[in-house]
Amino acid sequence: ATEYATPDLTNCDREPIHILGRVQSYGALLALSSGWLVQHASENLSDILGITVEGALGRRLADLLPQDSFARIREALRAVGPSNPVLRLFGIPILGEKAGDFDLSIHQSGRHLIIEFEPKGEQRNGDPLSQVYPYIHRIRRTNDLRAFTREAARSLRALCGFDSVMVYEFAEDASGHVIAEDTADGERRYLDQHFPASDIPVQARVLYKRSLLRLIADVSDPGARILAADSAGNQPLDLSLAATRAVSPIHIEYLQNMGIQASMSVSIMKDGELWGLFACHHDEPRYIDYELRTCVELFAHLFSYELGHLGEAQKREAVERSSQLQTRLMASMAEGRDLPGSLMAVSEDIRSVIPHDGLIMITDGQVSATGVTPTEEEFLCISRLLNATGGSQIFATNKLSQLLPEAADFARRCSGILAIPISRMPRDYIVLCRKELTETVKWAGNPNKPVTVGPNGVRLTPRKSFEIWRETVTGASAPWTLASTHAAELLRVVLLEIFLKITDQTAAERK
């Protein structure tokens, strides 16, 4: 068996969260051998199904469940396969001491078939499934990421009834950022806050690509151990896809320090990668049944699909905007302005396509600037770096001082540059500058809110997380996204064309 270190705050990435051997109290778990014999059972089996663990281990499933229910499970299992790993059955009647309807989640885990049972929740008002499409249509009417995610947070909160729903977007370095928030009391909690990569460690991010939703219904729930029959061997069960999996105690402490009692998160995927999460908080314990969770998952799935579409639409819009930019530049030059003058005149348009804090342009050794930029002297230092790196391609960095130690002195004003070569002459560039990220982002959480702190101390509080994130981004600007470098490439082509026209014109005038 693999050896795992005891998890602590320094080795979060190594906590084996998929084999912790516990379920949450809201569901019971059985693991069966290929011959339908019960090999593992969670200790709360009698609370949930009215069957004792001793009475279940080593028995056949068919002997434990009503014939009809067993038949439905066996029938449904035909649909399970690699492309459809988790089977869901809603409202299966089970007789006996705990008689009632149950929601079941069934999947294969290594040699075992895992079946989880959750008593069906109380009758809900309305039908959440009927709401999913109307919500998605509403989201579709928005056309920028902010409005899009805000609408999604609002819809998801209406669907799941949690006190607060956030949209958390991962950055390239796996840190994250709350880009939308919708709360029951309208109070802002974490909107615009950044958190370090370690708050959602790598093994969790990998797992969340396979298993899209987790509900932590009550942070004070001790959960139930999973016990094994003597014949089961001592390999722990892989619970990666288990709906009732109990989560990392370190994370539980984080949630307790946040002052919330229930948390649910749902993966948001884009281009096959984990783009972000819906993070839902509740100030009281909150359980929603598997069928409603499936509805939430479906919503997130459709949202992910729409997010992909939004990305495509934004790319088309960037092309459109750069052609408008070309028209505007040409018009400005036709009015008799030179290129630097014209570019300064359209700098706002450039900013709407590629967000930046300042713009510097160097042509024929002449420097012009607008916005927050390095000084001319500092810029000469940067241009030496640019000239040394070749020159006909877009060049972007969000940590200038790593390449240019002198830049540490003016990092606050300019940590990131995106340089666009603008003629076929070397050494002519437009350089877009970005301030250090920490200059633009401040802690916005309520400073007066009392924090209760658990055994691992303040490290597991959002405020401390924010400070740790700040340390990791000292000397860095917001990264240049793929969309930005793409737009810069379009701008480069536009400018090249303008240059060609100017050269043609001057040649014609000379004749």
Q: Which residues bind ligand BLA (CB under 6 A)?
A: 9, 12, 15, 17, 166, 178, 190, 195, 198-201, 204, 214, 216, 247-248, 250-251, 254, 263-265, 277, 279, 459-460, 462, 465
CB closer to ligand BLA out of 204 and 476: 204
Q: How far is the CB of 4 from ligand BLA (least distance, A)?
A: 12
Q: Which two tokens stand for residue 440?
A: 């633009």
Spatial CA neighbour of 499 closest among 404, 391, 425: 425
Q: Amino acid identity, residue 432?
A: L
C-beta closer to ligand BLA: residue 204 or 487: 204
Minimum separation from the CB atom of position 200 to ligand BLA (A): 4
Nearest to ligand BLA of 102, 195 (CB atom): 195
Report the nearest approach of ligand BLA to the CB of residue 195 (Å).
4
Helix (H) or strand (E) holding 104: strand 100-109
Q: How far apart are CA 412 and CA 258, in angstroms?
A: 31
Non-local (6+) Cβ contacts of 449 within 8 A are 259
Largest CA distance in the chain: 101
What minimum distance in Å lies between the beta carbon of 178 and ligand BLA? 6
Min dist CB 277 to ligand BLA, Å, is 6
Query: What string of DSSP letters covers 30-55?
Result: EEE-TTSBEEEEETTHHHHHS--HHH
C-beta of 472 vs 485, nearer to ligand BLA: 472
| Closer residue to ligand BLA in complex, CB, 265/397 | 265
Nearest to 280 by CA among 133, 180, 132: 180
Smallest gap from Cβ 58 to ligand BLA, in A, equals: 30
Angle in degrees, CA 48, 53, 54, rounded to 5: 150
Which residue lies nearer to ligand BLA by CB, 16 or 58?
16
Distance CA 288, CA 271 (A): 29
Closer to ligand BLA by Cβ: residue 58 or 249: 249
Question: Under 8 Å CB-to-CB from 427, ≥6 apart: which residues?
Answer: 362, 365, 383, 387, 391
- Which of 8, 453, 456 is CA-nearest to residue 259? 453
Rounded to the nearest whole angstrom, what is the least distance from the CB of residue 295 to ligand BLA in the complex? 17
CA dist., res. 226 & res. 40, Å (int): 6
Shortest CA distance to 396 belongs to which of 388, 409, 387, 386?
386
Pairing outcome for strands 100-109 and 112-119: antiparallel
Q: At closest approach, how far in Å is the CB of 154 from ligand BLA?
A: 17
Residue 191 or 495 having the CB closest to ligand BLA? 191
